[in-house]
Amino acid sequence: MLFNSYEFIFGFLPIALIGFFAIGRWGYARIAIGWLVAASLFFYGWWNPPYLLLLLFSIGFNYSIGRVLSSDTMSSSHRKWVLFGGIATNLALIGYFKYANFFASIVNDLLGTSIDFGTIVLPLAISFFTFQQIAYLVDAYREETKEYNFLKYSLFVSFFPQLIAGPIVHHDDVIPQFSKRKILRFDSDDMAIGLTTFSLGLFKKVVFADTIATYANPVFTAASNGVEIGFFQGWIGALAYTLQLYFDFSGYSDMAIGAARLFGIRLPLNFNSPYKSVSIADFWRRWHMTLSRFLRDYLYIPLGGNRKGEVRRYVNLMVTMLLGGLWHGAGWTFVLWGGLHGAYLVVHRWWEKTTPSIETWWYRWSARLVTFVAVVVSWVLFRAIDLSSALAVLRGMAGLNGIRSIESWDAVVWVVALLGIAFFAPNTQEWVADTLPELEQAVEAVPRKTRRWQWTPDPHWALVGATALVVAASFISQENEFIYFQF
């Protein structure tokens, strides 16, 4: 079931809300939480019921390991082995379903073998709920968190607004909220801000992302079929995909935060205008923020971070980004995409260390442009189905196939318009900054001119939200999956 489907918007979501608040009205907190767990499991099972068993196993297994790690009677060495076993089991599951055939192909190429696991259907959201629970096990081992309530733990993992494509939430991000009695009571402010945020996200997805995709897909399809890509064709295709991915992921993040807010739950920010970044490090502080947090806290820092010298820091950056690329997909294009971003970060660190800081408007805009172009180039690897297709598009962008006339001026208009929105328009968090004081990292730089038209729960903003929802609903001609569903 997709957020951008009539079944979800007019069926599942209203029923889930009505049931939750109806139960909560009578003060049955455990039953209300149980209702949300059941609704979330139904939401996941709608896609492929047999894989619901995998999610249930993952929840039960990791909860049990977490309980063991929280025990005060176990020795330190035994706790290390339990943690190792828990992480190994999680990685084995994701390794089989997501990477088995990729690694088999590498072994076959190196050794001349013919290992083949057949067709393996990738379980929806396995990367997200696996990494989320690995973080929980590590935190339990560090004695930073513990959870003895199986129902709340189950909701922490399966809560449907963030289950499929994030954000990757920490245990402490949401479980304390499940214990607050106020979420059981209908709150008109939460409902208003939740519906507005959800509607804006839906609009981004079905109007912006799905429309600009019609200009990106033909270019990459042509490249995969061996067609020579021209200069303008390559750049229009790359920029169109850059914007498709931006509004697709931004839209999903808004819809996830909005849907959770309807239930009184506040999810962490996951997307904060990344194309406004002035460096590649700034980009990763703004793009998929909860994944960046996970990679930093559970991979980069344990590897040594920046504590063991500059060379080791560069190595740690490369390793972290290579594995981050592999997290996104089982293929050499994703590995190289991660490696390219690792190289970007190394160059940025070297530049930052050797170049005096220049605080001028032209320098910041130059840095923003360089960062954006570097990101666009990397997205070609991210989108292409194989290396040859990626190289075909990159050759075209470099002008190696000649410069031909522009084939579609409609594409140019859409690209320019959406670039203007991505570069200059306030994002959703900035619009609703006054209602989200907990998101200080998103709103501290909101310009004063933006504050003149901050969102407030009044009739004219209700009209804006309703208009966005109606227009977006009219664009749902076909249910296009979110790009991050494949991860």
Give the residue numbers marked as catalytic: 328
For the chain, give the longest Cα–Cα distance.
Answer: 73
Judged by phi (left if over 0) then psi (alpha if -120 to 50, else beta), residue 266 lies in: beta
CA dihedral 84, 87, 93, 96 (to 10 degrees): -70
- Which residues lie below 8 Å from residue 5, measured CB to CB, with a gap of 6+? 476, 479
Give the dihedral sign, CA 22/25/27/33: positive
Q: What's the gap between Cα 358 and its chain centre? A: 32
Task: Encode burial over 200-218: b for 16+ CB neighbours within 10 A, e otherwise.
Answer: bbbbbbbbbbbbbbebbeb
3-class state of residue 439 by DSSP:
coil
Burial class, 247, CB count within 10 angstroms (exposed 0-12 / middle 13-18 / buried 19+): buried
CA-to-CA dists, residue 41 to 44, 51, 119, 269, 386, angstroms: 5, 11, 25, 24, 35
Tokens read off for 251:
């839209």
- The Cα–Cα gap between 10 and 19 comes to 14
Show Cβ contacts of residue 69 under 8 Å, excluding neighbours closer than 6 positions. Answer: 79, 82, 83, 86, 137, 140, 141
Token pair belonging to 206: 């079905």
Q: What angle do CA 361, 363, 369 make, to 5 degrees?
A: 105
Secondary structure (3-state) at 486: helix
Give the integer Cα–Cα distance in Å for 284 and 359.
21
